[in-house]
Structure 1
């Protein structure tokens, strides 16, 4: 299977990588130069290698970009990482061409530990590119990949974390990142310190779904913002007391430090409710490493000892300072 201009399609190049991806039915964004070098990196190929030599290294986005610059003279700036992740890799994962974290589904979407590799179903077809066997290998991929994607999705759903909300049906979170701590915040903190509060926002680490009560935010509190922005992990509204709890599950990312405390006070400023900031930790050891960064006039809660709060200065023990 060679082109009419005598280009050897069995040799791995950026051009043959793009042609290969197009053969898989991907659209232009998924077979452009960025996608081409991504494929070459995930296949572990350098100039002079053949598609038959493809391997399946597990690479993070930065390592993919490094491979592109070092071996294929296509350097990318650090700011390009999201383009690789959102405009190439996400769609490859969705179609079963690539796999995200094949041995660990519990890594947060924004974690630097995320790694990608070609799926077993895809690499067989990739290795045959440029040969007479490719067409049959492509058909096999299309049949097998859909089943593999379905099986991975079912395995992920089986591992989902069910969170018992105080005023509605249980909500499912992916089993990753700080989500186990987030479950404890809803099921352990809320009954103790905000028993009459309503959950207005509950975010999922993997960014696949979230609970967002936009009507209450807009009509009751007079707040409008993008729920996909840098929201706290959990927002509660205690209408009786006029308190709005902004809560952070501190695990892979930081707590309410001075800058975040200030920016969220501005973002959530409403005449209807005062703001209560709560930093949440799995245990005291986890809290200790972040203690120097905790902003004054916030609270600290430890899931291992849920009956207690640590108060960081101010005139109140628990409550908004501006009210």
Structure 2
């Protein structure tokens, strides 16, 4: 049975963690109780431990929440994950207090594989909390953190994939997931099957869109939707033929199956352009595992054989279906 002394000690430690975070200059959302238990988890601390015992375990958001409930009597519901990620951890990463995926720059933003840990400078300062060395360690953190964040951002940019269009536009995509295939879709598929088309949307594997032509979607096509929703990986507008290409880079996630085909047909329905659905694969072997799921009235394109298309049924080869 938990006694009152344990409860008082737990509450006092959480209050101390809040005070520590405040000393780093974090505003209220980043030194509240949620942030305090996040700090205790990322420092690997349990009741009875001291700040000098802090370590730097790598934890996903769910493990941070589990730690909070198991050791600090602060259980959180599964639905709280986004609050931890968006209202605490994201700002800590931006300020160099924490690091996201220190050994892997290319995990998608919304992936369950994401892990966080305290930065070395933050951990060093935290270990000295309550001692005479803390003030100098804090100053050292504040002087080095911005350089650390900048260096990590530069490393990510150096690894980015450059995607070039015929009109001279350039996109930068993170170098993992389906993005190498997405580059081929833009640079190999477009000149062959959609020459002159305009890229209206291109999504990055890390969960961000690189381009979203909101004005064309709304004013020309009469379409309004959330670009952060379940969009295709690539959307092209062929103004001459009045076609809208919806394209999926099929790698770790599925192609246009019957349900997704139907959903996007409704979402992108417009009287000024017919819809063309294209499933894209690196090679035939990659396509083989998904073949049973491909919806009828879609196309399949293989990057290894860029001059060819596979047509799945219908009254015509390449083009929109009138309904």
Above 0.5 in TM-score? yes
Q: How far did residue 19 of structure 1 move?
A: 1.4
In the alignment, the residues of structure 2 paired with residue 289 and residue 23 of structure 1 have an alpha-carbon distance, to the nearest angstrom, of 54
Q: Is the 8 A contact 2:110 2:207 kept in 1?
A: no
Q: How far did residue 290 of structure 1 move?
A: 2.9
Are 2:49 and 1:24 equivalent residues in the alignment?
Answer: no
Q: How far did residue 226 of structure 1 move?
A: 2.3
Name the structure 2 match of 1:3.
none
Q: How does 1:215-230 map to 2 (within 5 A)?
A: 215-230=215-230
Distance 1:117 1:266, change over 3 A: same
Q: Is the 8 A contact 1:12 1:46 kept in 2?
A: no
Q: How far did residue 294 of structure 1 move?
A: 2.4
Q: Is the 8 A contact 2:29 2:88 kept in 1?
A: yes
In the alignment, the residues of structure 2 paired with residue 151 and residue 41 of structure 1 have an alpha-carbon distance, to the nearest angstrom, of 26
Distance 1:65 1:281, change over 3 A: farther
RMSD (Å), alpha carbons: 2.0
Q: How does 1:170-209 map to 2 (within 5 A)?
A: 170-208=170-208
Are 2:70 and 1:70 equivalent residues in the alignment?
Answer: yes
Q: Is the 8 A contact 2:255 2:279 kept in 1?
A: yes
Q: How far did residue 319 of structure 1 move?
A: 1.4
Name the structure 1 match of 2:264.
264
Task: Look up the SS of the partner of 1:152 in the other structure.
Answer: helix
Q: Which moved more, 1:125-134 or 1:257-266?
A: 257-266
Q: How far did residue 57 of structure 1 move?
A: 1.0
Q: Which moved more, 1:163-172 or 1:22-31?
A: 163-172
In the alignment, the residues of structure 1 paired with residue 39 and residue 252 of structure 2 have an alpha-carbon distance, to the nearest angstrom, of 29
Q: How far did residue 135 of structure 1 move?
A: 1.1
Task: Look up the SS of the partner of 2:297 in the other structure.
Answer: coil
Name the structure 1 match of 2:92.
92
In the alignment, the residues of structure 1 paired with residue 297 and residue 209 of structure 2 have an alpha-carbon distance, to the nearest angstrom, of 31
Q: How far did residue 166 of structure 1 move?
A: 2.7
Give CA deviations for 1:190-245 in whole Å, capped at 9, x if unaligned: 11111121111112222455211122112211112222222211100011111100
In the alignment, the residues of structure 2 paired with residue 88 and residue 287 of structure 1 have an alpha-carbon distance, to the nearest angstrom, of 41
Aligned residues: 315
In the alignment, the residues of structure 2 paired with residue 73 and residue 251 of structure 1 have an alpha-carbon distance, to the nearest angstrom, of 41
Task: Look up the SS of the partner of 2:25 in the other structure.
Answer: coil
Q: TM-score, normalised by structure 1?
A: 0.91
Name the structure 2 match of 1:105.
105
Q: How does 1:1-323 map to 2 (within 5 A)?
A: 13-208=13-208, 210-322=210-322
Q: Is the 8 A contact 1:12 1:51 kept in 2?
A: no
In the alignment, the residues of structure 2 paired with residue 38 and residue 311 of structure 1 have an alpha-carbon distance, to the nearest angstrom, of 51
Q: How far did residue 142 of structure 1 move?
A: 0.3
Q: Is the 8 A contact 2:311 2:317 kept in 1?
A: yes
Query: Structure 1: which 4+ aligned runs deviate by more than 6 Å?
Result: none
Q: Which moved more, 1:230-239 or 1:298-307?
A: 298-307
In the alignment, the residues of structure 2 paired with residue 107 and residue 136 of structure 1 have an alpha-carbon distance, to the nearest angstrom, of 35
Q: How far did residue 65 of structure 1 move?
A: 1.6
In the alignment, the residues of structure 2 paired with residue 72 and residue 311 of structure 1 have an alpha-carbon distance, to the nearest angstrom, of 58
Task: Look up the SS of the partner of 1:68 in the other structure.
Answer: helix
In the alignment, the residues of structure 2 paired with residue 72 and residue 286 of structure 1 have an alpha-carbon distance, to the nearest angstrom, of 47
Q: How far did residue 12 of structure 1 move?
A: 8.6
Q: Which moved more, 1:299-308 or 1:27-36?
A: 299-308
